[in-house]
Amino acid sequence: MRPLTQLPAWDALKRHHGAVCNLHMRDLFATDRQRFQKFSLKLDDLLLDYSKNRVTEETMGLLLDLARQSGVEERRDQMFSGAPINSTEARPVLHVALRNRSQRAFLVQGQDVMPEVRRVLAQMRSFVEDLRAGKWLGATGMPIRHIVNIGIGGSDLGPLMVTEALKPYGRDDLTSSFVSNVDGSHIHQILKKCSPETTLFIVASKTFTTLETLANAGTARSWLVQALGEPAVARHFVALSTNAQSVTAFGIDPANMFAFWDWVGGRYSLWSAIGLSIALAIGFSEFEALLAGAFEMDEHFRTAPLATNMPVIMALLGVWYSNFFDAAVHAVLPYDQYLHRFPAYLQQADMESNGKSVTLEGRPVDYATGPVLFGEPGTNGQHAFYQLIHQGTRLVPCDFIAAANSANPVGCHHELLLANFFAQPEALMMGKAADQPYKAFLGNRPSNSLLYARLDPRTLGRLIALYEHKIFVQGVIWQINSFDQWGVELGKQLAKTILPELIDDRALDHHDGSTAGLIAYFRHLRR
Ligand code: F6P
Backbone CA torsion sign across 207, 209, 213, 218: positive
Using CB atoms within 10 A of its CB, is residue 61 exposed (0-12), middle (13-18) or buried (19+)?
Answer: middle
| Close Cβ partners of 65 (under 8 Å, ≥ 6 residues apart) | 8, 9, 12
Q: For residue range 308-322, list pLDDT tens digits in order.
A: 999 999 999 999 999
Q: Which of 267, 402, 393 is nearest to 333 (CA)?
A: 402
Query: What is the reported pLDDT for 289?
Result: 98
* The 3-state secondary structure of 222-291, one letter per residue: HHHHHHHCHHHHHHHEEEEECCHHHHHHHCCCHHHEEECCCCCCHHHCCCCHHHHHHHHHHCHHHHHHHH
Catalytic residue selected from 14, 135, 413, 492: 492
pLDDT value at position 1?
Answer: 86
* pLDDT at 86 (0 to 100): 97
Q: What contacts 380, CB < 8 A, 6 or more positions away? A: none
> Is 156 within 8 Å of 204 (Cβ atoms)?
yes
Ligand 1 atom at minimum distance from 213 CA = 16
Q: Does ligand 1 come within 6 angstroms of the Cβ of 267?
A: yes
Q: Is the CB of 157 under 6 A from ligand 1?
A: no
Ligand 1 mutation pick, 93, 152, 178, 202, max ligand atoms within 8 A of CB: 152
pLDDT value of residue 344: 98
Stretches where the chain sits below pLDDT 50 are none
In sequence order, the β-bridge partners of residue 108 are 111
Whether residue 369 has its Cβ less than 6 Å from ligand 1: no
Rg (CA), the chain: 24
Looking at 383, 413, 432, 439, which residue is catalytic? 383
The pLDDT of residue 496: 82
Q: Looking at the DSSP assignment, which residues form a beta bridge with residue 401? A: 334, 450
Reported as a single tens digit per residue, the pLDDT across 485-526 is: 999 888 877 888 899 999 888 999 999 999 999 999 999 999
Question: In the chain, how many H helices and how many E strands?
Answer: 22, 13
Q: What is the pLDDT of residue 527?
A: 87
From the CA of 488, give the closest atom in ligand 1: 2
Q: Closest ligand 1 atom to the C-alpha of 266?
A: 8
Sign of the C-alpha dihedral computed for residues 430, 435, 438 and 439 taken in this order: negative
- Tell me if the bond preceding 198 is cis, omega within 30° of 0: no
First-last CA distance in the chain: 58
Phi, psi values for residue 358, rounded to 5°:
-125, 140
> What is the distance in A from the centroid of ligand 1 to the CA of 391?
38
Residue 436 CA to residue 404 CA, distance in Å, equals: 37
